[in-house]
Amino acid sequence: MLWFRIDNRMVHGQVIETWIPYLESNRLLVVNDAIASDCLQQSIMALAVPHRVKVEFLHLSELRKALQDANYPNTLVLLSNCQDARKVFELGTMFKLINVGNLHYGPGKAQICPHAAVSEDDACCLHFLQDKGVELDFRCVPNDKSKVEPF
């Protein structure tokens, strides 16, 4: 199973304690240009990941090639924001569904559900993905009611 998730907190308790077991992930790809260039952040995040799960930190442009590794059938891909999700899609990483996990509220953002607030740019990126046939799955954790619907 290949699962894509937008979560601005990246590697944290919900991912480690719920998503990885739920998906039976044996590989975690943290895809973010800033983190892929920051060894300290990588070290801190990697400490939280169970030893049975291979964790990799990638630049957006590296994702498509990394997904060709068939040794890891249950891969969880974490993206920090809607813009990164759009960018990897535009770079050729195709997906049919993306889980919109946590997008924190901030100035200029509208709360669209308890765990997601979007700016105009976020909304534009989500609309772009929908227009390309991608379903948006708004869930914080796997046992939340799946809410796959038009944005």
The C-alpha atoms of residue 6 and residue 62 are separated, in whole angstroms, by 17
Structural domain includes residue 147: no
Residue 33 within any structural domain of the chain = yes
Which CATH number is 37's domain given?
Answer: 3.40.35.10
103-116 burial, b at 16+ Cβ within 10 Å, e below that, comes to: beeeeebeebeebb
User: Is 146 inside a domain boundary?
Assistant: no
Query: Taking 90 as the threshold, does the pLDDT of residue 23 lie above it?
Result: yes
Distance CA 118, CA 105 (A): 7
Q: What is the pTM of this model?
A: 0.94
Per-residue pLDDT tens for 29-88?
999 999 999 999 999 999 999 999 999 999 999 999 999 877 788 999 999 999 999 999
Q: Does the residue 150 lie in any domain?
A: no
Q: Is residue 149 part of a domain?
A: no
Q: What integer pLDDT is reported at residue 144 of this predicted model? A: 87
Query: Does any domain span residue 117?
Result: yes
**Element spanning 22, H or E:** helix 20-23
145 within domain boundaries: no
Report which secondary-structure segment, H or E, holds 50: none
Please tell me which residue, 29 or 147, carries the higher pLDDT value: 29
Mark out the alpha helices in 38-81 (DSSP H runs).
39-48, 63-66
Assess if residue 131 is contained within a domain. yes
What pLDDT sits at residue 148?
59
Q: How high is the pLDDT of residue 150? A: 58
Q: Euclidean distance between the first and final Cα of the chain, in Å?
A: 24
Distance (Å) of CA 7 to CA 19, 52, 70, 79, 147: 12, 22, 25, 6, 16
For 98, the domain range is: 2-138
In total, how many domains does the chain have?
Answer: 1
Position 26 pLDDT exceeds 70: yes
Quick check: 149 pLDDT over 90?
no
CB 80 within 8 A of CB 10: yes
Query: 93-110 pLDDT, tens per residue?
Result: 999 999 999 999 999 999
